[in-house]
């Protein structure tokens, strides 16, 4: 069995996460038992939700244990198998975590899924046709439920989730306005993803300026809002919502370091009769086949052109993850574990 490198959570962050919260360790891979599969990871997924799990506090999932492999999605290839449904060479996705190899109990439902790389690159199964893509689909389709001609706003617009929200909303005949950090990200959202407009919150760096820009970009108000960030940007968009607007709350990355994110004007929820709903995509596995079919079709037709930021080597994962939290990535952030 091959030797294995892993990254553990070594300590919990006090405020902003640091590289020192992680530890690179070497381990031996145990021999396979019946029903198990050894997967060599080619790509590791980095996602904002991981920051929340580094804290030891109440959340929708148990905290990441200390001294254990950081949890996360992986895409790779079966290296050894003692399960009849998986053969050496199969390309698979799972939750193998921040390590080079994982031993997976393939009898556990959903632990490992075969995928085809004939039309979709393997890394995309961690992004556009993986958990982020389905997250976008569920929040937009099931919570926002936009109608043709309505205006959809999404924050973190150039990221893995935000870009998929834009593609899905355009496919439904909506006007799509993104909010992102940087002129280059906004140019990508408009020129490659087909957004109708994108607002650079670094340029419009205070509420009045962003609100004025949003009014110009969405002159008929906002019907649907897909929230990834929280904080003062949430206040701005809520102030531009139309009556009976819908808000899908996917993430609050502005508060992942533990700072509270109070609403400046919560009465707007009542005044505009807004529907605001948070969701966790892993609780809605029934939608994955439908969502992945649509997302794959959009990519195959060229209507959705997802981008990736790729870090090389397992040791690069902590720095890449911290960069993700600061918006340094462009599109989906992955770590490539093979040469």
pLDDT digits (tens, 9 = 90+) for 132-144: 999 999 999 999 9
Indicate the average pLDDT of the chain. Answer: 95
Task: Classify 25 in phi/psi space as left (phi over 0), alpha (psi -120 to 50) or beta.
Answer: beta
Counting other chains too, the contacts that 60-65 makes at CB distance below 8 Å and 24 or more residues apart are: 60/280, 61/280, 64/9, 65/9
Residue 213 has pLDDT above 90, yes or no: yes
pLDDT at position 337: 97
SS3 of residue 96 by DSSP: coil
Domains defined along the chain, listed by start: 3-126+307-336 (3.90.180.10), 131-282 (3.40.50.720)
pLDDT at position 19: 97
pLDDT at position 119: 82
- The mean pLDDT value for 276-281 works out to 96
Q: Which two tokens stand for residue 295?
A: 């997302």
pLDDT at position 261: 86
Give per-residue pLDDT as tens, 48-103. 989 989 998 777 778 999 999 999 999 999 999 999 999 999 999 999 999 999 99
Largest Cα–Cα separation, the chain: 63
Rounded to two decimals, the pTM is 0.89
CA atoms of 145 and 172, how far apart (whole Å): 10
CA distance between the termini of the chain:
20
* Contact criterion met (CB below 8 Å) for 172 and 148: yes
Q: pLDDT-derived band of residue 321, with 50, 70 and 90 as boundaries?
A: very high
* Contact criterion met (CB below 8 Å) for 176 and 166: yes
Give per-residue pLDDT as tens, 149-194. 999 999 999 999 999 999 999 999 999 999 999 999 999 999 999 9
Nearest CA to 183 out of 334, 332, 330, 333 is that of: 330
CA atoms of 173 and 155, how far apart (whole Å): 19
């Amino acid at each position: 069995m091959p030797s294995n490198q892993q990254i553990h959570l070594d300590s919990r962050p006090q405020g902003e996460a640091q590289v020192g919260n992680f530890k690179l360790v070497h381990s031996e891979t145990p021999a396979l038992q019946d029903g198990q599969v050894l997967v060599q990871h080619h790509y590791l997924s980095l996602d904002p939700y991981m920051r929340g799990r580094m804290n030891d506090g109440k959340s929708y999932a148990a905290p990441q244990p200390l001294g254990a492999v950081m949890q996360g999605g992986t895409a790779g290839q079966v290296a050894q198998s003692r399960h009849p449904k998986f053969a050496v060479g199969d390309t698979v996705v799972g939750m193998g975590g921040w390590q080079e190899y994982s031993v997976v109990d393939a009898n556990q439902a959903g632990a490992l899924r075969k995928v085809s790389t004939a039309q979709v690159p393997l890394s995309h199964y961690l992004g556009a046709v993986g958990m982020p893509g389905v997250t976008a689909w569920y929040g937009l389709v099931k919570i926002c439920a936009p109608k043709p001609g309505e205006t959809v706003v999404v924050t973190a617009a150039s990221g893995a989730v935000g870009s998929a929200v834009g593609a899905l909303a355009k496919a439904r005949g909506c006007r799509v306005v993104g909010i992102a950090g940087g002129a280059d990200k906004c140019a990508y959202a408009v020129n490659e993803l087909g957004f109708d407009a994108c607002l650079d919150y670094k340029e419009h760096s205070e509420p009045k300026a962003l609100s004025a820009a949003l009014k110009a970009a969405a002159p008929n108000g906002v019907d649907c809002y897909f929230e990834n960030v929280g904080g003062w940007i949430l206040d701005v968009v809520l102030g531009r919502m139309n009556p009976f607007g819908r808000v899908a709350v996917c993430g609050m990355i502005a508060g992942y370091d533990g700072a509270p994110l109070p609403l400046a004007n919560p009465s707007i929820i009542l005044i505009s009769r807004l529907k605001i709903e948070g969701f966790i995509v892993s609780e809605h596995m029934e939608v994955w086949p439908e969502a992945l079919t649509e997302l794959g079709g959009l990519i195959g037709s060229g209507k959705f052109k997802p981008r990736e930021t790729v870090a090389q080597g397992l040791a690069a994962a902590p720095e890449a993850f911290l960069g993700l939290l600061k918006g340094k990535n462009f599109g989906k952030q992955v770590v490539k574990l093979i040469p």
